[in-house]
Amino acid sequence: MSSTEHSRQTVVANGQSYIAPQKPTVVITIDGCAVEYLTAALEKGCMPNLQALLDGGAFSVDALSEMPSFTNPNNISIVTGVAPAIHGIVGNYYRDPHGVERQLTQPSDLRASTIHAALHAHGIPVLMVTAKDKLRRLLSVGGVPSVSVEKADSLPIAPYGDATAADLVGRPAPHIYDWDASIYAMDIGLAAHRQAGPIGLLYVSFTDYVQHREPPGSALANQFYSAFDDRLGIYLAEGFLVGITADHGMNAKHNHDGSPRLILLEDVLQEAGIKGHAVLPITDPYTAHHGALGSFAWVYVDRTDRDRAIEIIGNAAGVTEAYTGREAAAAYELPSDLIGDIAVSGDRSMVLGRSASFHAASPPPGHLRSHGGRYEQPIPLILSEQPRPEFLGSRAGRPHRNRYIHDLLLNGCTEQQEAPSGIGSVQKPISVAPFGE
């Protein structure tokens, strides 16, 4: 699995080799970060550190997230480097092959290994930090140390000692619905790096509560991005190679009066005499974000009704794509055994629901903002250093995707000349300033 040719250690994850980090490296996934959030905050002068990076020639491109544009599939693509067709996490929520609907959060759901697990197996210090605990178990597959903001006050951050993440940070964790829960995730990563030894590869994944609530350029959004930028400056000062991307974008999904712009798929089919069942893969424990309404849905119907159901749904205003499962597997790089009979995507301002009676139980927030479709695929991808020109040249013609960010950082930004032993070398540990200096 590993080799030390050219004095560099490499590991393999899902058929792709990765050069072990030569210096502390972090990938930060800003949940729900449509490009417009960064643009608006930069224009307001709220992000001086990011501005300096961009002015100094950092690598910054428009990239794409996975479809459906939800949190779990994209976070897992980012840490495995492969599409959902390979890793098997097709949503936050799904109907399994036995017909049982459930969250996609179990380690046994993951069909691929993470890059972090491959490094961890070779003794390179890695850490996963996530705001939402729903992701933590998936990220910890392979024995990777992982911690969430939600459990920061209670779970030890082993093997970084018996202390909890909150002990390391030195203040209690905010609530998951506080605006700065994601900023605290960045603080956990910094505290672990400073106090428990240098981290080779760190992953920090946010929550999109702010983005679900606030449009780009709002006071709270800019406050959030300003705090992010403050921590970004600290990471850079600590010598981190930094990659920034998002799991998906975010768009307004409401009418002028603030009510959701919504297609109720089961009701639409029932009017045509078809009994259908919709599964909403945005569904997760954080219903205050979106009321389970996103711009993507699976529909299950009797085989004999499928083509007519596709025609009816496809003709509904605000639906941009209605595919058979087979077509969706090909178009979106999804595993054909884990998806529904029909895939439905909504347009920039449309969300998809089940039935009026179903959503009456937990109505969505007013002025809904959400994601899940093609219009939330565009995302930023920023690296604090430029990959080598020949590395980029070898990838010419391929779209930039969030799932390639570790390839770009670890393989593309590695210096060409013989590097000293990487992180994980017992002989030459990287020295960092002690905490508080």
Q: Does 284 bind Zn ion (CB under 5 A)?
A: no
Q: Are 57 and 385 in contact (CB under 8 A)?
A: no
Between 208 and 266, name the residue whose CB sits nearer to Zn ion.
208
In eight-state DSSP terms, residue 127 is E
Stretch that binds Zn ion, among 71-79, 135-143, 175-183, 409-417 (CB under 5 A): 71-79
Between 252 and 272, name the residue whose CB sits nearer to Zn ion.
252
Contacts of 334 (CB under 8 A, 6+ apart): 67, 83, 84, 85, 90, 328
Question: What is the token pair recorded at 46?
Answer: 């709220």
The Cα–Cα gap between 252 and 36 comes to: 12
Element of type H or E holding 289 = helix 287-290
The Cα–Cα gap between 126 and 105 comes to: 21
**Shortest distance, position 212 Cβ to Zn ion, whole Å:** 6
Between 22 and 72, name the residue whose CB sits nearer to Zn ion.
72
Using the structure block, give the residue that is written with the tokens 């495995």.
80
Q: Are 39 and 149 in contact (CB under 8 A)?
A: no
**Shortest distance, position 185 Cβ to Zn ion, whole Å:** 13
Stretch that binds Zn ion, among 90-98, 247-255, 304-312, 372-380 (CB under 5 A): 247-255
Residues 192-231 that bind Zn ion (CB under 5 A): 208
Between 199 and 282, name the residue whose CB sits nearer to Zn ion.
282
Between 71 and 283, name the residue whose CB sits nearer to Zn ion.
71
How big is the chain, counted in residues?
Answer: 437
CB-nearest residue to Zn ion = 71
Residues 28-67 that bind Zn ion (CB under 5 A): 31
Residues 294-333 that bind Zn ion (CB under 5 A): none
The Cα–Cα gap between 378 and 349 comes to: 15
CA atoms within 13 A on the CB side of 132: 22
- Residue 284, Cβ density class (10 Å: 0-12 exposed, 13-18 middle, ≥19 buried): buried
Q: Are 395 and 407 in contact (CB under 8 A)?
A: no
Between 31 and 385, name the residue whose CB sits nearer to Zn ion.
31
**Shortest distance, position 131 Cβ to Zn ion, whole Å:** 10
The Cα–Cα gap between 18 and 12 comes to: 6
**Shortest distance, position 207 Cβ to Zn ion, whole Å:** 8
**Shortest distance, position 153 Cβ to Zn ion, whole Å:** 23
**Shortest distance, position 312 Cβ to Zn ion, whole Å:** 28
Please tell me whether residue 242 adopts helix, strand or coil conformation.
Answer: strand
The angle, 0 to 180 degrees and rounded to 10, between the axes of the packed helices 35-43 and 48-55 is: 100
**Shortest distance, position 378 Cβ to Zn ion, whole Å:** 14
Stretch that binds Zn ion, among 90-98, 240-248, 410-418, 427-435 (CB under 5 A): 240-248
> Which of 71, 114, 130, 377 is the binder for Zn ion (CB under 5 A)?
71
Q: Does 247 bind Zn ion (CB under 5 A)?
A: yes
**Shortest distance, position 36 Cβ to Zn ion, whole Å:** 16
Between 18 and 93, name the residue whose CB sits nearer to Zn ion.
93
Between 206 and 404, name the residue whose CB sits nearer to Zn ion.
206
How many residues sit in the footprint of Zn ion (CB under 5 A)? 4
Question: Residue 387: is the preceding peptide bond cis (ω within 30°)?
Answer: no
Between 239 and 285, name the residue whose CB sits nearer to Zn ion.
285
**Shortest distance, position 206 Cβ to Zn ion, whole Å:** 8
- Name the residue among 289, 185, 275 with its Cα closest to residue 227: 185
Q: Are 29 and 65 in contact (CB under 8 A)?
A: no
Binding residues for Zn ion, rule: CB under 5 A, are 31, 71, 208, 247
